């Protein structure tokens, strides 16, 4: 169950300036608040991290995962930092183009990448990673029939052994691996070959993610050696929580890129596709207290009902969201610490509980404003309309 953690001081600093315009009278609730300084910091730190890990002859590039939050302000930040845009549908390709990305700054991934209708090809995009042997076969056939390459890099998503995933081409059995080798050999020289995998460290655990990384390097090398087609791009997907991305991942990335270059001698590019690591802390949800509940008039606050709900915070159960309350007297935003209080959503559903185990201030009143932080990723992009008639 979600528990509101106290905000780390550095982040609170950004939040205070970002949240300055949020006031009880001037801010409608529930409403999304774009945290501009936090967003700038996240994207700038990611750009620096990629630059630090790049090697002569092997560039580390960030590709922002559009689906995580397609808000144009994030796309524009990504573009301004020189990031690529990672799309999973033609609608997302169109969105990236509309936001000023050039075609060769776009990567296409996933099983539905040609949906709903392929954007006509003026020139190739940067990379396409096939999600299955069938897709790779289709693309290789098109190229061998004289078709224009749809991308500079044509690659395949690998599903390593023992990874239960619906995505990618399995390399588990000798027959599956041999089929893949045969398909990779059909990729013409005019395009580069790349390997991709994505399995969230947020689901797998950090050490397992790194062990998967090193395993994928070996599978990519095997594919390279057996097919004679050189792996020039390695795309490792996203799936990192913000704190892990800017600590563990950032610390180990340079060594990981060196290993990749040692194992895959012809590697030119390493691509990372973060989504939530960049944008999760960069939006908050302003909500208003509808009712304060106590066991008796002098007791601590047991629960508050707010006008936000699971419809605006649909992944509230996946990780703790920091929660701030605006002190009505001082106007300061105070993080909620641990306690015995509960924040209930407005929806008449048992599971609409936004936080358990928080300490609610004794002075809190109906009409006060709170912000639920860390909603900038899948909370925002998967939010839905509910209970609005």
Which positions lie near ligand PLP, rule CB under 6 A?
65, 68, 86, 109, 198, 200, 237-240, 273-277, 377
Which CB sits closer to ligand PLP, 239 or 345?
A: 239
Which CB sits closer to ligand PLP, 238 or 361?
A: 238
Q: What share of the chain is helix, strand, coil (3-state, %, to 5)?
A: 35, 25, 40
Residue 95 contacts residue 74 (beta carbons within 8 Å): no
DSSP SS3 for 38: helix
**At closest approach, how far in Å is the CB of 218 from ligand PLP?**
21
**At closest approach, how far in Å is the CB of 9 from ligand PLP?**
25
Which CB sits closer to ligand PLP, 103 or 198?
A: 198
Q: Quickly count: other Cβ atoms within 10 Å of residue 331's Cβ.
A: 10
Which CB sits closer to ligand PLP, 238 or 335?
A: 238
**At closest approach, how far in Å is the CB of 224 from ligand PLP?**
21
**At closest approach, how far in Å is the CB of 175 from ligand PLP?**
26
Four-residue CA torsion sign, 27, 30, 34, 37: positive
Please state the length of the chain. 389
Beta carbons within 8 Å of 330's beta carbon, 6+ residues apart: none
**At closest approach, how far in Å is the CB of 84 from ligand PLP?**
11
**At closest approach, how far in Å is the CB of 274 from ligand PLP?**
5
Which CB sits closer to ligand PLP, 159 or 198?
A: 198
* Residue showing the smallest CB distance to ligand PLP in the complex: 275
DSSP SS3 for 60: strand
Smallest CA-to-CA distance from 134 within 170, 172, 90 is with 170
The dihedral region occupied by 179, where left means phi > 0, alpha psi between -120 and 50, and beta the remainder, is: alpha
Which CB sits closer to ligand PLP, 272 or 292?
A: 272
């Amino acid at each position: 169950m979600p528990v509101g953690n106290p905000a780390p001081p550095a982040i609170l600093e950004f939040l205070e300036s970002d949240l300055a315009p949020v006031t009880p009278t001037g801010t409608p609730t529930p409403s999304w608040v774009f945290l501009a300084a936090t967003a700038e910091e996240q994207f700038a730190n990611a750009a620096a991290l990629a630059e630090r890990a790049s090697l002569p002859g092997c560039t580390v590039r960030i590709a922002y995962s559009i689906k995580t939050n397609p808000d144009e302000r994030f796309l524009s930040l990504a573009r301004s930092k020189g990031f690529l845009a990672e799309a999973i549908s033609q609608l997302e390709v169109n969105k990236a183009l509309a936001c000023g990305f050039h075609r060769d700054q776009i990567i296409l991934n996933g099983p539905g990448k040609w949906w709903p209708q392929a954007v006509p090809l003026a020139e190739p995009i940067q990379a396409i990673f096939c999600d299955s042997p069938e897709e790779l076969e289709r693309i290789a056939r098109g190229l061998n029939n004289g078709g224009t390459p749809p991308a500079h890099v044509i690659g395949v998503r690998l599903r390593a052994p023992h990874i239960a995933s619906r995505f990618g081409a399995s390399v588990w059995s000798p027959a599956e691996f041999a089929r893949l080798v045969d398909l990779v050999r059909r990729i013409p020289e005019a395009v580069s070959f790349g390997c991709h995998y994505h399995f969230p460290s947020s689901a797998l655990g950090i050490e397992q993610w790194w062990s998967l990384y090193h395993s994928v390097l070996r599978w990519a090398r095997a594919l390279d050696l057996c097919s004679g087609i050189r792996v020039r791009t390695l795309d490792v997907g996203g799936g990192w929580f913000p704190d892990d991305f800017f600590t563990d991942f950032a610390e180990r990335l340079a060594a990981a890129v060196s290993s990749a270059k040692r194992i895959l001698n012809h590697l030119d590019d390493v691509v990372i596709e973060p989504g939530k690591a960049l944008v999760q802390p960069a939006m908050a949800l302003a909500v208003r207290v509808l009712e304060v509940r106590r066991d008796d008039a002098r007791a601590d606050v047991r629960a508050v009902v707010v006008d936000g709900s699971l419809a605006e915070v649909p992944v509230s159960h996946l990780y703790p969201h920091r929660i701030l309350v605006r002190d009505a007297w001082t106007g300061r935003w105070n993080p909620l610490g641990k306690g015995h209080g509960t924040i209930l959503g407005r929806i008449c559903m048992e599971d609409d509980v936004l936080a358990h185990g928080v300490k609610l201030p004794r002075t809190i009143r109906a009409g006060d404003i709170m912000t639920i932080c860390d909603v900038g990723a899948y909370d925002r992009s998967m939010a839905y309309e509910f209970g609005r008639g």
